[in-house]
A and B are shown apart, each in its own frame.
Chain A
C-alpha cells in the first residue's frame, strides 16, 4: 500500500474563541495545543453464554482542552479566557478550530462551548512561559465541515 502523501501536522492550526462581546478572536498566536476527545456513549449488552458484548450506542460528547500562553495583551488567549471565567454570567461561546490550517479543504470544527475549568501553575523554577490549560465542553452539537471559502 502506498504511503499517504497528505499527512498533516498542527504547525498552522487555527484557533478562534469568542470574546465577551461575541467577537471571534484568533488566539492561535497565543496558544499551542488543542486536545480533542470525541466520545460516544456506548452500553454493553451481555447475556448468559455470550463471550463478547454487543453494544448499543446513544449520545455523543466531546471535550476540548486548549493550552494558551499566559500573556498580557488584550484579546489574546489568556485575556479572553480570564474574562470568560470571571464574567458574571460566563455562558456559552463559539469555539472554532481549523486543522491543519484555515485554508480551503481544511477541517473546521465548531461548537458553542462552556468553560469547564481553567488551570495553570506558576513555577519559579520554570523559565518558559506560564501555560494555561482550559477545558471546554460543547453546549450542544460539535459540528465538522470542510473549509470552502
Chain B
C-alpha cells in the first residue's frame, strides 16, 4: 500500500487531524477519495528514496536488509512487518521500530503553521 504525504490539514474523523508534513497510508480511503485529494493538492504519493542514501543508513545495514529481505527503499521498509524484519535480520522488534522511526523522521517535512 502506498504512502502519502499530507500537504493540507485533513479531517480523518472523530476529531483526528492529519497535519501538513505528516505521512500516512490513508488505508481507509478508496481510489476515488485518494484521487480527489491528490487533484486538490492535499496529498501526494511519497517517492521513497533508497535506504542507502538516508542519513544513518549508509552502511552495511542497508546492504544487509536488501540482501536478506529484498528491501531497497524507505517505503518498502515501512510497509514490512516488524516481526518479520526482526526475525530475518536477527534483531529485537524494538530495534526495527527504531529503524522505522529514523526513516519516518527522514521522510517527514517540518510541519508548517496553518495550512
Interface residues of A (CB under 8 A from B): 6, 103-105, 108, 110, 143-149
What distance in Å separates the Cβ of A23 from its nearest Cβ neighbour in chain B? 15
- Identity of the chain B residue whose Cβ is nearest the Cβ of A110 in the assembled complex: B11
CB <8 Å contact, B33 and A105: yes
Whether A149 pairs with B11 at a CB distance below 8 angstroms is: yes
CB of B92, distance to nearest CB on chain A (Å): 34
Q: How large is the interface on B (under 10, 10 to 19, 20 to 34, 35 or more residues)?
A: 10 to 19
In whole angstroms, what is the CA distance A113 to B39 when docked?
31
Residues of B close to A148: CB separation below 8 A: 10-13, 18, 26, 29, 33, 37, 42
Closest beta carbon of chain B to A5's beta carbon, Å: 9
Q: Is B45 an interface residue (CB 8 A)?
A: no
Contact of A149 among B8, B9, B28, B42 (CB under 8 A): B28
Do B28 and A105 touch across chains, with their CB atoms under 8 A apart? no
CA distance A63 to B39 in the complex (A): 29
Q: Which residues of A contact B10 (CB under 8 A)?
A: 145-148
